[in-house]
Structure 1
């Protein structure tokens, strides 16, 4: 008769948004023993502002896991976490700092999946700020959580190349896949105490949450800057500008590689021959440096996101975007 394998050491998972739910689902599918889940309270969603469990709570509830919902980790919350005798805690975008009394609960402490090559882009929006700054690479990083903001030593990191014509939302989804695989491989070493983290080195930079104003697209700015800003702010807060008095949202964009007509003015929307395919035409926004931005999708006020060419066909010839936010 064969001996039964010892039960896996229990983990606590803390997270809230869709990327955290994606990671939790991946860890569950790989067989990790999640004892309980910590997440933010139900929040109003949609036009009717219906109270809705967080994406992490929904995954946990579907899996039959205990769910602890709190906006602030108090000593009472810590006592509840202690009841599960966790060996390790895992954090992915929980949305609040864990105080020291909570950090001390798991035997092996807590690790955090972060979306940059630390110490670069510490904070809530590392991918968005990397893309705003025109970075071509970022990383999924697993680090030991400390009381400071993203300051702990690094257990593992995997580089990710940011594709052209992609949004921050897509990058976050792909980084989560990468980070979940990295975390899944690392957890046995963490539980056994076999992973020795390396202190962060280099000059830190910071990535606070983006605001609605950060997502405003001003056509007077250079084209490449506009491309970075558009892609970095999709889906949140959502790249936007004005068409006259009407607010519109923009889909992912890229730089137009040919010269614009001599009379093109910033904010003007042009229908031009493709710079990559002789058989097609493109919707191009003229920028402040006399270069162009290829628009792929546009969402007019009160409508769904649509193909930019379909949107352009329904407009007059002299369309000007921009204004003052």
Structure 2
């Protein structure tokens, strides 16, 4: 089959590489336009573009997916199938173009966690299991008929970054399996509404800055899961003496508390803890406003809190 691949971040590169290594005929790649980044605001290529060019694959970078020139260029490749991994929402004029349709790899066990941030929300909600799904695109986002799924265990200390890496590898394998099944006429599509039954659906909307601020009045388990679910990006944050403090890694201590929620305590050298309503969060890796990311010992070595309860 002639395949057009659509994707942008590193997560998608693993899938593109897997398809090429399996001998699939990827005739073109569609990815995001180059964007300015960093202090110098130099144009940066997407991870997918960088990899595609290294393999000699033509790259399309439309600003608008309904652009007539882009659509004409897409048709010129005469693709049998389109594959989408971590890309934008496609208009019907794009996803319905190839005769075999367009398939998507989604980082959840659909129909659960439809949306832009399934990895983050699964950990924030304290799930012990996630996975990947391949499905056929249709009008409603993430609602198309499911082709294949693969489950993945979430460890108690996994961060969003850890789960991302697991799903990236397993998703690439599942996508290759899906493409081979389609080529062989062995891909059976299962409507998502047959899997819902009486199950309450959990959603995975885009995460905004206001979603990342830690509410220390919450139970310690909820705060711990929020920190894991937002690490390493966009990162949960709080404030320390008026400065924003991102938290990347922490441990939890369920115990009777002697301080109001939000109070931080330290011995000044080895630990920094914040009180929740039923325990403490001990911060291990952090980044205070204007500084680099570091572990708590290095941070305390150079930081003198202005108001703190010192305990040993």
- Compute the TM-score of the two structures, normalised by the length of structure 1: 0.86
> What is the 5 A alignment of 1:132-281?
132-200=124-192, 201-202=195-196, 203-257=200-254, 259=255, 263-271=258-266
For structure 2, which runs of at least 5 residues remain unmatched after alignment?
A: none
RMSD, aligned α-carbons: 2.2
Contact 1:98/1:147, CA 8 A, preserved across alignment? no
Residue of structure 2 in register with 1:306 after alignment: 294
SS of 1:219 mapped into structure 2: coil
Contact 1:165/1:252, CA 8 A, preserved across alignment? no
Question: What displacement does 1:46 show?
Answer: 1.2
**2:13 is equivalent to residue 12 of structure 1:** no
> What is the 5 A alignment of 1:35-114?
35-74=27-66, 75-95=68-88, 97-114=89-106
Give distance in 2, aligned partners of 1:45 and 1:265.
Answer: 41
Contact 2:113/2:122, CA 8 A, preserved across alignment? yes
Query: Which of 247, 264, 275 is the matching residue for 1:287?
Result: 275
**Count of matched residue pairs:** 302
Give distance in 1, aligned partners of 2:70 and 2:297.
Answer: 53
Question: What displacement does 1:110 show?
Answer: 0.9
- Compute the TM-score of the two structures, normalised by the length of structure 2: 0.89
Question: What displacement does 1:284 show?
Answer: 5.0
Give distance in 2, aligned partners of 1:148 and 1:120.
Answer: 14
Question: What displacement does 1:271 show?
Answer: 4.8
For structure 1, which runs of at least 5 residues remain unmatched after alignment?
A: 1-8, 273-280
Question: What displacement does 1:317 show?
Answer: 6.8
Give distance in 2, aligned partners of 1:52 and 1:137.
Answer: 35
Closer, same or farther in 2 for the Cα pair 1:71/1:234, shift >3 Å?
farther
Contact 1:271/1:284, CA 8 A, preserved across alignment? yes
